[in-house]
A and B are shown apart, each in its own frame.
Chain A
């Protein structure tokens, strides 16, 4: 973390655009991962799931990073001029002028505050419900959890799409794709599950979660396998339809990515699709810690690179390599993330006592 911090300052002094683009890359990446905790809990709550209770304290800990990522993303506002072309529209650019009622700085800031406000409110609500449930017991808390999860999922569906249009898609303000929000969401889901899986494995190995068994790993493995295919499906849908129709307004997005970053462009497909797909194909692999770690590592790095490929070609017109700035900041935020998560986990029993379906997670086969 310290080394990362040093590199970050080095970056700030030398190159503004590079600094802010890596700030966005890492800030957004960790926002997605922190949010995935809330998504994980609310989806499983709404599906009346029981098996996930064995690990549900992990996503709850991940959420704790959300306020910090909010601060990081709000600091980004200092650098909007370097990143977002729409902050200084040239005259005669009728398309961008037509969008100013949406893409303008005050509204952009209001929206950002609104998104984080909603996400943090509901995330902490869910954490508090689970704390209360542990203390008091009874079914009322679980009913509350269902209620808040339902509201959160609806609001999240809307705000997560809007946030990805605002923060990432508007880097190319002329370009648009209706699928973009869902595509980012699928990345959130799979990289979040990868982080949760790695944390579960780490805690299990160190003896903090003795109740975890192969069935839990199997279920997480199925998620990794399934959702990495789902991400690829959305990636491919967007790519195929734009490639096939070959409309210049749309292909302008993929052209620099394929021309200037030919290796990275295909590498993300290998890391995010081929490796988890091939490694986790069999039942035994999904129940094996080693294979899970390989796939998680591949997905965690792959989605970071994917985000880099969404950001860098939009900010810089020529090819830019990943440098100290990006990696340093990733280490820095990553270190902070680990610190927050482990501080939140330390000294606690990592089971949601009094959860109505808790008992099920100890007796099931997947």
Chain B
């Protein structure tokens, strides 16, 4: 038996019964979507289609239509890749690490965050693939017996490690999300009216009948997946960071990169979760489940991970000076004063400055302020990757090849397209799957529900 201190904030507010919870969370799926939903999804789909056309244009014409050049071989493409991968991390963090740390508040946000993870990883995976140029040869990256000589498959390359890291990550996240969904799909199967829908949900729920045996297997599988996913939270972004840190390029090669990237990933991921959930809880009337307390808890994670990232920025700066290596010193002077100084200071303001406002409880518990700060962080974390990738490349060891990199409309279009895809996918998700894990929220109602706890 667990005991919950009366001094803790309830995680479910209002007078809820189990039946009420099911109704609240299932109603968007059972009812018809409103006008607003149709308008928004039309816009996001259009943006997605625009991005798709830009991808087709790139494939047709070649990578030359991008702004990349001989000096700057990685630009918006890899920036977007790292940004999207980072966003995915919040989902895994919430569902795996917070599960192990027995954080009950995770139950309200884990489902949506995991869905977000999957969509974000899809967006991320797109970029390295199209960056290859000849996409039809992308199977070259997979290790299988071939006669192409010693270069492929190159096990020494962090880029290959990436292939494994990200595909494993995608697979485990997908499994974790789906396994968690099974009991809720069973609930939906019993609720929907149309026979076709019932058939589909019935098939998706794998014949779930809620017996004790089913629950036991379900829970042990969830725990095993949480155990597997926990090292993944650390390993995926560590390996992404090694794409840079193993190179002998000042500004890229620094030992702090793996943990610093992981922390930055969780930081940006939580900002995106907040961006989505603040809108979702309002439009779908979920304020009783995603309470101010939940938002505050997520803001605390943001202040922690954001400050770790800030500490890493300052450590890098100090070490660049301390190293006494002129290249290291130059890279940071260049970031602060060079042609990309505007990007560097945007990054510093958005990541190191603005989130510090969360030290104030009033701001932490203010929905609008949280939303605005979350947007700042989304922008700042994109710029962090841009600053790391582009400033270091644009001024390398050979001053004669120094150059300035600007994206073309094609790269911008592809990035917008992934945003379009991401939001379209999320909007569809809210209509077909419960955005909050019904079974898990019922699990904590006795201990953490406002009404139950006060009885």
Q: Which residues from chain A sit less than 8 Å from chain B, CB to CB?
A: 46-48, 50, 94-96, 98-99, 102, 139, 150, 154, 157-158, 161, 165, 174, 176-182, 222, 226, 229, 233-234, 237-238, 240-242, 244-245, 247, 249, 356-357, 359-360, 362-366
Residues of B contacting A179 in the complex (Cβ-Cβ under 8 angstroms): 254-256, 258-259
Given contacts A154-B307, A222-B100, A241-B242, contact A94 B7 (CB under 8 A): no
Q: Is B131 an interface residue (CB 8 A)?
A: no
By a CB distance below 8 angstroms, the chain A residues around B253 are: 241, 245, 247
Q: A237-B238, A241-B242, A249-B325 are in contact. Are A360 and B257 (CB under 8 A)?
A: no
The verdict on B163 contacting chain A, using a C-beta distance below 8 Å, is: no
Residue pair A245, B238 in contact (C-beta under 8 Å): no
In the complex the two chains form, what is the Cα distance from A46 to B312 in whole Å?
21
Q: Which 6 A-B residue pairings sit nearest by Cβ, starting from the closest?
A: A178-B256, A363-B3, A179-B255, A95-B324, A237-B258, A356-B7
Give Cα A356 to B259, complex, Å: 34
Q: Which residues of chain B have C-beta atoms less than 8 A from A158's C-beta?
A: 311
- Interface 1/0 per residue, B235-249 and A, CB below 8 Å: 000100010011110
B219 within 8 A of A: no
Complex interface bits, B305-334 against A, C-beta within 8 A gives 1, otherwise 0 = 001100110011001001111000000000
Chain B residue at smallest Cβ distance from A181: B315
B1 interface residue (CB < 8 Å to A): yes
Is B213 on the interface with A (CB-CB < 8 A)? no
Residue ID in chain B nearest A154 by CB atoms? B307
Interface residue B5 (Cβ < 8 Å from any Cβ of A): yes
Contact B315 A362 (CB under 8 A): no
Are A363 and B2 in contact (CB-based, < 8 A)?
Answer: yes
Least distance between A39 CB and chain B CB atoms (Å): 14
Which residues of A are found within 8 Å of B148, using beta-carbon distances?
none
Distance in angstroms from A240 CB to nearest chain B CB is 8
Nearest-neighbour CB distance to chain B for A347, whole angstroms, equals: 28
Cβ of B4 within 8 Å of any chain A Cβ, yes or no, is yes
B259: chain A residues at CB < 8 Å are 179, 182, 233-234, 237
What are 20 pairs between A and B in contact, CB < 8 Å?
Answer: A48-B8, A94-B324, A102-B322, A139-B7, A165-B322, A176-B322, A177-B319, A178-B255, A179-B254, A179-B255, A226-B100, A233-B259, A238-B255, A240-B242, A241-B242, A356-B5, A357-B7, A360-B2, A363-B1, A363-B2
B300 — which chain A residues lie within 8 A by C-beta?
46
Apart from A178-B254, A240-B246, A245-B248, 15 more pairs, CB < 8 Å? A94-B324, A98-B324, A176-B322, A177-B255, A177-B256, A178-B256, A178-B312, A178-B315, A178-B316, A237-B258, A241-B254, A245-B246, A359-B3, A362-B3, A363-B3
Name the CB-closest residue of A to B258. Answer: A237
Task: Output the least CB separation between B241 and chain A (Å).
Answer: 9
Which of A176, A234, A357, A364 is within 8 Å of B2, CB to CB? Answer: A364
B234 CB–A CB distance under 8 Å:
yes
Residue numbers in A under 8 Å from B100 (CB-CB): 222, 226
Given contacts A179-B256, A241-B242, contact A161 B311 (CB under 8 A): yes
Closest chain A residue to B5, Cβ basis: A357
Give chain B residues whose Cβ lies under 8 Å from the Cβ of A360.
2-5
User: Could you say which residues of chain A place their CB within 8 Å of the CB of B5?
Assistant: 50, 356-357, 359-360
* Cβ-defined contact, B248 with A237, below 8 A: no
Would you call B2 and A233 a contact (CB within 8 A)?
A: no
Docked Cα-Cα span, A365 to B3, in Å, equals 10
Interface size, chain B (Cβ < 8 Å): 38
Contact partner, A178, options B3, B238, B319, Cβ 8 Å? B319
* Minimum distance in angstroms from B8 CB to a CB of chain A: 7
Closest partner residue, chain B, to A95 (CB atom): B324
CB distance from B319 to the nearest CB of A (A): 5
- In the complex the two chains form, is A99's CB within 8 Å of B324's CB? yes
Complex CA gap A174/B319 in Å reads 12
CA of A244 to CA of B161 in the docked complex: distance in angstroms? 14
B307 proximity list for chain A (CB < 8 A):
154, 157
Task: Return the CB mask of B1-22 against A: 1 if under 8 Å, else 0.
Answer: 1111101100000000000000
User: Scoring B residues 390 to 434 as 1 if CB is less than 8 Å from chain A, else 0, what string do you get?
Assistant: 000000000000000000000000000000000000000000000
Smallest CB–CB gap between A147 and chain B, Å? 11
Q: Which B residues are CB-close (under 8 A) to A247? A: 248, 253
A233 to B253: give the CA distance in the assembly, Å.
18
- A361 to B191, alpha carbons, bound, how many Å? 40
Smallest Cβ-Cβ distance to B311: which chain A residue: A157
Q: Which of B221-267 contact A (CB under 8 A)?
A: 231, 234, 238, 242, 245-248, 253-259
Are B322 and A99 in touch, CB under 8 angstroms?
Answer: yes
Q: How far is the CA of A174 from the CA of B324 in the complex (A)?
A: 8
Complex Cα–Cα for A222 and B101 (A): 10
Cβ contacts under 8 Å, A178 to chain B:
254-256, 312, 315-316, 319
Q: How far is the CA of A244 from the CA of B300 in the complex (A)?
A: 36
B325 / chain A contacts, CB cutoff of 8 Å: 249
Interfacial chain B residues near A245, Cβ < 8 Å? 246-248, 253
Give the docked Cα–Cα distance between A299 and B252 (Å).
Answer: 33
Residues of B contacting A238 with CB < 8 Å? Answer: 255
Contact call A176/B311, Cβ cutoff below 8 A: no
**Do A241 and B255 touch (CB < 8 A)?**
yes
Closest to B7 in A: A356
A240 neighbours in B (Cβ, 8 Å): 242, 246
A357 / chain B contacts, CB cutoff of 8 Å: 5, 7-8
Closest residue of chain B to A357 (Cβ to Cβ) is B5
CB distance B2 to A241 under 8 Å? no
CB distance from B346 to the nearest CB of A (A): 23
Chain B residues within 8 Å of A364, by CB: 2-3
Please, how many angstroms separate the alpha-carbon atoms of A76 and B259 in the complex? 32
Q: Is the CB of A237 within 8 A of B255?
A: yes
Name the distance in Å between A142's Cβ and chain B's nearest Cβ. 8
Provide the bound-state CA to CA distance between A363 and B256, in Å.
Answer: 40
Contact present for B315 and A161 (CB under 8 Å): yes
With the chains together, A241 CA to B243 CA distance in Å? 11
Tell me which of B100, B255, B324 has the highest count of chain A C-beta atoms within 10 A of its own C-beta.
Answer: B255
A158 to B231, CA, bound (A): 26
Name the residue of chain B whose CB is nearest to the CB of A219: B102
Q: B258 contacts which chain A residues (CB < 8 A)?
A: 179, 233-234, 237, 241
| C-alpha spacing A357/B5, complex, angstroms | 6
The docked-state distance in angstroms from the alpha carbon of A96 to that of B322 is 9
Task: Report A126 CB to chain B, min CB distance, Å.
Answer: 19
Q: How far is the CA of A131 from the CA of B246 in the complex (A)?
A: 50
Q: What's the nearest-Cβ distance from chain B to residue A139, in Å?
A: 7
Which of chain B's residues have a CB closer than 8 A to the CB of A165?
322
Chain A minimum-CB-distance residue to B2: A364
